[in-house]
């Protein structure tokens, strides 16, 4: 399968611990997005990369969150000092952008985080 | 700020019947794109259909079609000949032309009765 993959699929952690999630986009996709989805809500944008450059960050992305995309391939999202309010599904999406209108985002299965 | 509103938290349809899911959005932009995504239980989100705001013709993908009313800022999804596999959360999403991120509504949970 050559779709977007995310690891781990589930993560349970204790409040105050650090967690890191990984996203592998579809090969040759130049854009990669992170979204957060809480129960009963639609996904909310966190940040995105074009190649290795982080182009935009939402105000939802507090200082405890950091994302990287070294070499423009896979991406990691780290949450430091987790809080119970961080419990959510973290979705990754990738796309190939050659003009603005052409972009279609393909989503991964998500990482479900539970902070105890 | 752009917003997307889905006013139907849940909908139900009989198998083989037609159902319409509603979506309204608010924007002052003229160049934008609208999407419907499907999220089956415990499965990843997939694109159902997309509509470019500059196109007057409503998009169609097999059993899925949209009714795009630009002046009213309305973007409804019609599912014809509903199948059991159509049961899922459906999210309406908006993207401004030069922006990358999608803005989603809260979703509509669609149940299909056999």
Specify the pLDDT at position B78. Answer: 98
Q: Determine the residue among B9, B61, B89, B102 to mutate to test chain A binding: the one whose Cβ has the most chain A Cβ atoms within 10 Å.
A: B102
Parallel, antiparallel or unpaired: strands B19-21 and A44-50: unpaired
Residues of chain B with pLDDT under 70: 98-99
Q: Are B10 and B109 in contact (CB under 8 A)?
A: yes
pLDDT value at residue B2: 85
Of B4, B43, B101, the CB nearest to A56: B101
B11 vs A: CB within 8 A: no
Burial bucket for residue B103 (CB in 10 Å: 0-12, 13-18, 19+): buried
The partner residue sitting opposite A110, judged by closest CB among B4, B44, B93, is B44
Residue B47: its chain A contacts at CB < 8 A?
104-106
Print pLDDT tens along chain A (116 aa).
Answer: 579 999 999 999 999 999 999 999 999 899 999 999 998 899 999 999 999 999 999 988 889 999 999 988 999 999 999 999 999 999 999 998 876 566 889 999 999 999 99
B104 has a chain A CB within 8 A of its CB: yes
Instruction: Check if B16 contacts A (Cβ < 8 Å).
Output: no
Contact residues, A window 64-83, toward B, CB-based 8 Å cutoff? none
């Amino acid at each position: 399968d050559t779709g977007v993959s995310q690891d781990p699929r589930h993560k349970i952690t204790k409040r105050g611990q650090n967690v890191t999630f990984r996203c592998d986009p579809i090969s040759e996709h130049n854009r990669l997005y992170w979204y957060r989805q809480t129960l009963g809500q639609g996904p909310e944008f966190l940040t995105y990369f074009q190649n290795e450059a982080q182009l935009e960050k939402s105000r939802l992305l507090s200082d405890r969150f950091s994302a990287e995309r070294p070499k423009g391939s896979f991406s990691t999202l780290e949450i430091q000092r987790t809080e119970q309010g961080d419990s959510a599904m973290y979705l990754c999406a990738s796309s190939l952008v050659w003009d603005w209108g052409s972009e279609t985002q393909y989503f991964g299965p998500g990482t479900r985080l539970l902070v105890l | 700020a752009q917003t997307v509103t889905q006013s139907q938290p849940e909908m139900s349809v009989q198998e083989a019947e037609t159902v319409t899911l509603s979506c309204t959005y608010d924007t002052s932009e003229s160049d934008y794109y609208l999407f419907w995504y499907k999220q089956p239980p415990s499965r990843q989100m997939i694109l159902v259909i997309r509509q470019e705001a500059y196109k007057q013709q409503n998009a169609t993908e097999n059993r899925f079609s949209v009714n795009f009313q630009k002046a009213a800022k309305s973007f409804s999804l019609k599912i014809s000949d509903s199948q059991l596999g159509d049961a899922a959360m459906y999210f309406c999403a908006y993207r401004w032309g030069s922006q990358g991120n999608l803005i989603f509504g809260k979703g509509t949970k669609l149940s299909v009765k056999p």
